Amino acid sequence: MDNKSNSKQIITGLSLIVGLSLLGLFIFKGLKTFSDKDRIVTVKGLAEMNMMATSATISIDFSFSGDNLQDVIKQTEIKKNSIITYLTSIGYNKNDIQVNNIGITDRQKYYETEWQNGQQVKTKIDRYTTTQYLTMPSKDVKATEAESSTIELALISKDLTSKLTTGYSFPELNSIKPKLIAESTKNARISGEQFANDSKATLGKIKTASQGQITIAGKYHSGEEGADESDSPKEPYIQKARVVSTIVFFLE
């Protein structure tokens, strides 16, 4: 009986030791995990990408004014046809020249009151004003500005003075968004790993991540408020897409 009793006591003691050891191990791991969760690093990842315009257009607009609507419309038609004749003579396809409807403004009065020499006087104005717009595709996206200037000077020399503007079409942001986000995340991880190395730690999993708004910088767009625009593209046919992601990593 004594031997059996001693065996039971030994088994009970060993079980107690193993149980306490396992309990201690679990507590240690739990405390370590809890401690590790408090060790985090917040980093930002920047990604930028230049976008080339896929197409460009040149718009021409001019206007006439007068009191006789039919005469004003006739003048507008003559100038429009003369401009189209010139454009086709330098290689533009007539079918590619988009002619918008004539815009007509009727002021329904012939005088305006304005201040002159400290007193109000009536000034004669034209009742009707017509506006005409023509748009055509540019032959070369990169040379659109030069192309527009050449046409403008030629029209002036032919007494067809008009206002010329250029426009550019760029790829949809959705087409480059995944690549931008992946690049910003990659750059954020690089920063996090550098911090972890300096802290004698290992970079763990992502705790939280937030993607900043994609901004566009270029000749016709401004970037984020307060951002340095010195490196923004100066060419009108290039835009820079930019995104900053903020990611919180665990440190192990």
Residues 206-215: pLDDT tens digits?
888 887 788 8
Bin 117: left if φ > 0, else alpha if -120 < ψ < 50, else beta.
Answer: left
pLDDT at 111 over 60: yes
Residues 72 and 108 placed together within one structural domain of the fold: yes
21 in any annotated domain: no
Specify the number of domains making up the chain.
Answer: 2
63 & 112 share domain: yes
Highest mean pLDDT among 48-62, 187-201, 214-228 belongs to 48-62
Domain with 59 in it: 55-169
At how many degrees (to 10) do helices 69-89 and 144-157 cross? 120
Mean pLDDT of the chain: 83
pLDDT for res 110: 75
User: Which CATH number does the domain housing residue 94 bear?
Assistant: 3.30.70.2970
Other CB atoms closer than 10 Å to residue 168's CB: what's the count?
22
- pTM value surpassing 0.85: no
How many angstroms separate the CA atoms of 76 and 128, rounded? 12
Same-domain pairing of 48 and 59 = no
Residue 51: count other Cβ atoms within 10 Å of its Cβ: 20
What confidence score (pLDDT) does residue 121 get?
Answer: 78
Mean pLDDT of 101-121: 81
Residue 168 pLDDT greater than 70, yes or no: yes
Identify whether the C-beta of residue 165 lies closer than 8 Å to the C-beta of residue 59: yes
